[in-house]
Each structure stands twice: as structure tokens, then as C-alpha cells.
Amino acid sequence: MYLLREFNLLPFVALCLLWGIGGWLMLIRTFDIPERERGLLGFGVGLVVSNWLVNFFARLMPFSSACWLAAGLTLAGGIALAWPLEKGYIGKWIQNWRQWLLVAVLTFLFTLIGRGLSIYDDFQNLPMTSLIATGEVPPNFPLASNMRYGYHYFLLLLAAQFLQTANAAPWTAVDLARGLVLALTLTLGGLWAWRLTGQRLSALLAGLFLAFAGGVRWMLFLLPPSLLDKISAQVTLIGSAASSAPTLKDLLTSVWLTSASPGIPFPAAFVSGVDEPFVMLHNGYGASHLLLILLMLMLGNWGKKAWPWGIIMAVLFASLAMANEAAFALIFLGGVLAILLWIVIYARKEGKAALPIPLLAAATAAGVLTLFQGGFITNAIAGWFRPAASVLRVEFALIPPALLSAHLGSLNLLGLSGLTAAVVETGLVVFALPWILAWGWKAIHERQWFAAAISGSTLFGILSVFIRYTGGAGETATTRLFEHSLQITKILAVPLIWNWLHGKKDYIKEIAIIAAITTCLSGFVLFGVEVSAMQKPVYADYLTSLDAQFYAKYWNKLEPGVLVFDPKPSRAPTVFGRYNNAATWWINAATDEWVALMQNPDPHAVRKAGYGYMYYHRFFWEEHQNVLDQECARVMEQIDDIHSASNSPGDFRRLVDIRGCQ
């Protein structure tokens, strides 16, 4: 299989073993958890702890050294917490080999699917990964070398480790990191359901539901034509949906026109602008936040030693801020709500209420760490003091209740048409929220703090229909708040409703089964389409095999700090691991200087703008040959495709040294 030729398997496995064994040893004497869960939970903890350590070590040493040192310290920390070691530990670690096999198979599957897709912001994820792997931690904005970029880069930091240690190119490393996290999250979701229900079958059903549950836009086909026309007339498509069809009614029978789709296009009736199925989480943070949430859920109140428990939980919570700041903020608010409710309840009943000191200490430590560890929250706080030096800003506005879909735009919840469109975009998962909130209320009484906080976070996610994000990332970022509530519901719905159905009449159980299958239909269809992408790997919309050849020869080889001019701004940071100064944001934000250089790319002018090299393709050269071919511009290398090599029209890539163009 081509994937095994795209990275070095041995260092990848070695890194995973250091994480897995170290994390597993951390849990043996620190957490009182079922033996069947300890292996994968330990692997997750080891991965997170090591990745979090790399985020700091990379600022002090070469990135490759930071990766191996962090992994080694993770193992050393595990040995210290598990000491004295017992002879039977190795047998315990491998006894759940079926779980390890499942994770390996799912990782391979999701990675192959990702290699055939390039549909979620790879124009920003690949440059970020490439720059991080050169040691740019935390990274600045790839298209503006002196501007801070508060991105949720936890998953990309993991991908950068695979790039540096396993020699995986950015397009492979990102998909490998996504695939591993997707597989581990899905398996842990099943184990969590098993714990709650005590039934092994629930693990399988919970995993399937988590994987495939999504929106039900296709149910609009069931409406009377007149009602569908009315709803369609009141919906204004945005983003990729607007590129796919002029109206909602037309969209239902169209394909979703997104970049680098697989061989079989995605039917637009089965996608969603609010609730994507888990199997479609191939974006910049993937399932990393869900992995962290599951780890906190499954470890939350099971600590046997206070200080190791507090340190591990603080690292998990701080990592969540680096993985998905929206989930971090919502769970923080959910925790505050849970503690306040508990204080009020127990103050009334007992006249006093002892605060959960270990929880507060862990949460406080995580909050302090987020101030300087990097990511969106770190950048947002710094941006309050120096707003001009930051790409992103944090701004919200209050609005009448409306759900924002990344495809259908703003949907007014006070009107029948908007409410109907909102329900099909969110899917039937939203109707399981009462079970999640009831479970959270019970968790407050039982002092299960992380469970209560995560349950409470869904309430704040639902309340996001009253606000609209107006900051630099665009208003569709608001969708992530509501989506958080739906994703938490997917994790919890099957085990909670399973327990609730015990003793209920058969027709109620049948309704629940039908609702679950209906909810998963979109995911089944989209997964079937995704599988077709496995046979044809891609790089990205802006990359070809010519760029891959340049990457193999020149990545991180140019002088540190040098800027590379490229008419496709995301390409040079990906290929060379070097910044440019093309724009202040990824889309429609080119600087005036960049626009002028694109119109007249005279090497002297490009050099004056601070660039040391130029990298361009044939068609850019043909358009500007008169100014590009100058004596001071030294061609370092040109790679031609097969057509150009045979003297017939074809593409090429050319790297030019312009440092002599004074």
C-alpha cells in the first residue's frame, strides 16, 4: 500500500510505544479504572502529555530533539509513578490486543481516506505543520511573518512530530495525525459506553453512532413541494453551498462542490453546515478536542493520588485550550455552573459546602498554562494589549435567536422556515440533549465534576444561538459553539438512552432504534463516498508532484528567517518551511505590496520587499518572463514535468535566488 512508502514506520511505532507505555504506567497507581480501559486511556494520556511537552521543549532545542525528549520523559514519568514495577505489567499491557488492533486498522483506514481528500482548509493546515516542524512554536501567521496567529494547533503539533521523526511530508503527516486521533477517540467512545452500561454490545453501538450520526438535510425531500419552496425562498446559501447551487431546493439535488473531492462527489443533501458526522472530521483540529474530552470524562474522578491526578488533569485541560478553544471555554463555564449549583444546594441543605479543592487547583493550573502556552486564548489575551500584532481578534455581538449554518447561513429560529432548516441541519441528535442535561444534574449531586462540567457545557453551546462571532476568523466560526453541544451529545446519547430504555415498552425501544438509524444515514452515505478517495492520494489544491520533489530536496534547507515569494502564498511555507508576507488572512486579504509584486514581479522589487528567494510555476513565468529573467536572479533548480522534458507544453517549478538583486 502506497501509505507505507510515505513515512518511516519504525520511528513512528517507536514514538507511539514511548507514549503508550509511559501513559499506561502513569495510570496504574494513579487512577482506579477498569483494566480493559487502561491500555488505550494510557496511550491517550501519553500522547497528550508528550505533545504538550513538545510545545515547550521546541522553544529551547531543535524540534526533533524536543519530540524524542518529550516522549522519553513521558516514559520516565510513567515509570516513576508506577514504581516499583511488577513482573506482570507487560502481560497486562498487551492483554487487550484486540483494542490495539482495532485502533491500528481504523488509523490506517482514516489516514488513507484523508490522503484522498483535501476538503478542509489544507491551504492553512499544511503550511502551519511545515513551519511548526522547523521549530516555529508557537507559529506566527504563515503569510505574515511578524504577526501572531492564535490557531488551535494541537493536532498540527502532533502532525509536525510525525513529519520530523518519521519523515512524513506535511500532506501525509497531517492525515496520519488525524487518522490516529480519530481511531483512538472512536474506540474510547465505545469503552466509555461500556463503562456506563456494563454491556459490551453498547460499546459497538455507541461507536457506530459516534462515527456516523449527523445532520438530516435529506429529510427536506419528505416535505410538500410548496413548503419546501417556501423554506428555500427564505434561506440564503453561503460558502461552498452557494458555489454548489443557487437555492436550497436546488442544493438538495446537487453535489457539494468542495475542493479536492473524491472520485464520487458528495451529495449535498447529506452534508451539513452545523453537524458533520465524525467520519468527516478531517479539518485542522479533527477529533483532538473530543479525545481530550473523553480522557477527562473517563479519568475525572478516579484519581487515587491527589497530586499526580491534578497534574495530569491540568495538562489535559490545558491541551484542550490548544486543541479547541471553544470547547475549553464552554467546559470551563459548565464547570463554574456545576460548582455554583452544588454550593447553593448543599449550602441550603447542610448549612455549608466544601469546595472541590483538587478540581479547582487543576482548573486554575490549566488556566494559568493557557496564558502562555500558545494557541487562540494565549493570542487573544496578548491581542488585547497589542491588537495590531495579531491576525485574529475576539469580538461577539448579541442577536435574536438564530442558528448559523456554514452552508445555509443564518437561520431565524423564531420563524417556521428557519426553525425547520435548523432542525435538519443539526439532525435528530439535538433531541437527546435532555438526557445529557439530566445526567449532568445527577453528576452534580454525586460530585462527578468533569462529567457535570461537560454536561453543563452543552447548555452554553445551545445558548450560542443568541450571539454571533464577528472576529477575524469569520462569522461561521460561531457554528463551533453549537456543534460542541451536538458532539458531546453523540458521545453520551447511546449509553444514557440505553440505560433509560431498560424496562421500557418495546415500541419505545423501536422508536429509539429508528431514530438512531435515521440520524446515521447521512454518515453512512458520506463515509461510502469517502472510501472512494482511498485509491487516489492527493497533495493539496495548490500542490503537485513537482512541489513534492522540491519539498524532498529543500524543506528547511534555506537560511532560517528568509522569506520566499510565491504567487500561490500557501505553497512556499509548505514546501520550504519558510514564511512570506502575502496577506493578513487566508482569503481575500492580500496586502497592497503583494498585489503590486504580483502585477510586476521584478526581482529587484521583490528583494527590496524583504524576500530572498522566488518560487513559481511555468504559467507565472510565461506571463512575466520579461521581468523575471534577469542576470541577478540565479536559478537554483528547475524541475520539469514529463511534457516539458519532452519539449512539449507542460508545467515546471523553479527556485530562484534573488539575494543578489540589490
SS3 string, 298-331, reads: HHCCCECCHHHHHHHHHHHHHHHHHHCHHHHHHH
Helix (H) or strand (E) holding 193: helix 170-197
List C-alpha distances in Å: 407 to 235, 239, 240, 247, 269.
10, 6, 7, 11, 11
pLDDT (mean) for 226-236: 93
Residue 353 has what pLDDT? 59
**HEC secondary structure over 229-254:** HHHHHCCCCCHHHHHHCCCHHHHCCC
pLDDT (mean) for 219-234: 94
Instruction: With a cut of 70, say whether residue 386 has pLDDT above it.
Output: no
Q: Do the Cβ atoms of 275 and 429 come closer than 8 Å? A: yes
Residue 367 has what pLDDT? 85
User: In the block, which residue shows the cell 531543535?
Assistant: 62
Dist. CA 277–CA 335, nearest whole Å? 27
Say which residue, 584 or 201, is predicted with more confidence: 201
Dist. CA 433–CA 421, nearest whole Å? 19
Dist. CA 185–CA 393, nearest whole Å? 31
In 317-408, DSSP assigns E strands to 396-398, 402-405
Length of the chain: 662
Dist. CA 612–CA 658, nearest whole Å? 6
Say which residue, 160 or 339, is predicted with more confidence: 160
Instruction: With a cut of 80, say whether residue 469 has pLDDT above it.
Output: no
Residue 260 has what pLDDT? 60
Residue 9 backbone phi and psi in degrees, to 5: -70, -40
Instruction: Give the range among 246-260, 305-319, 470-484 with minimum mean pLDDT.
Output: 470-484
Please, which pLDDT band fits residue 159 given cuts at 50, 70 and 90? very high
**Residues 535, 541, 547, 551: is their CA dihedral positive or negative?**
negative
Cell digits of residue 401: 435567536
User: In the block, which residue shows the cell 455549608?
Assistant: 352
Dist. CA 614–CA 604, nearest whole Å? 11
Residue 13 has what pLDDT? 94
Please, which pLDDT band fits residue 474 given cuts at 50, 70 and 90? low
Most confident option among 113-117, 262-266, 550-554, 638-642: 550-554
Expressed in angstroms, the distance from the first to the final Cα of the chain is 49
Residue 511 has what pLDDT? 94
pLDDT (mean) for 495-506: 93
Dist. CA 102–CA 110, nearest whole Å? 12
Cα dihedral value 532, 533, 535, 541, nearest 10? 150
Instruction: With a cut of 80, say whether residue 180 has pLDDT above it.
Output: yes
The reported pTM is 0.93
Q: Residue 474 is which amino acid?
A: G
**pLDDT tens digits for range 604-656:** 999 999 999 999 999 999 999 999 998 899 999 999 887 655 666 678 999 99
Instruction: Give the range among 105-119, 470-484, 580-594 with minimum mean pLDDT.
Output: 470-484
Residue 588 has what pLDDT? 72
Instruction: With a cut of 80, say whether residue 120 has pLDDT above it.
Output: no
Residue 388 has what pLDDT? 53
Helix (H) or strand (E) holding 654: strand 652-657
Residue 393 has what pLDDT? 63
**DSSP tag of 255:** B
**pLDDT tens digits for range 404-413:** 998 999 999 9
Cell digits of residue 447: 460530585
Please, which pLDDT band fits residue 247 given cuts at 50, 70 and 90? very high
Q: Do the Cβ atoms of 626 and 620 come closer than 8 Å? A: no
Cell digits of residue 524: 453512512
**pLDDT tens digits for range 280-328:** 988 878 899 999 999 999 998 766 677 888 889 999 999 999 999 899 9
Residue 303 has what pLDDT? 63
Instruction: With a cut of 60, say whether residue 364 has pLDDT above it.
Output: yes
Max CA distance (Å), the chain: 89
Helix (H) or strand (E) holding 126: helix 122-133
For β-strands 611-617 and 563-565, DSSP reports them as parallel
User: In the block, which residue shows the cell 427564505?
Assistant: 234
**pLDDT tens digits for range 80-89:** 998 887 776 6
Residue 111 has what pLDDT? 93
Please, which pLDDT band fits residue 389 given cuts at 50, 70 and 90? low
Instruction: With a cut of 60, say whether residue 337 has pLDDT above it.
Output: yes
Residue 176 buriedness (CB in 10 A; 0-12 / 13-18 / 19+): buried
Residue 476 has what pLDDT? 73
Residue 533 has what pLDDT? 86
**pLDDT tens digits for range 511-565:** 999 999 999 999 999 999 999 888 888 888 889 999 999 999 999 999 999 999 9
Instruction: With a cut of 70, say whether residue 97 has pLDDT above it.
Output: yes
Dist. CA 248–CA 150, nearest whole Å? 34
pLDDT (mean) for 356-370: 82
In 7-50, DSSP assigns E strands to none
pLDDT (mean) for 358-370: 84
Q: What is the mean pLDDT of the chain?
A: 89
Please, which pLDDT band fits residue 348 given cuts at 50, 70 and 90? low
Cell digits of residue 462: 445551545
Q: Do the Cβ atoms of 482 and 403 come closer than 8 Å? A: yes
**pLDDT tens digits for range 565-576:** 999 999 999 999
List C-alpha distances in Å: 12 to 106, 251, 402.
16, 43, 45
Please, which pLDDT band fits residue 181 given cuts at 50, 70 and 90? very high
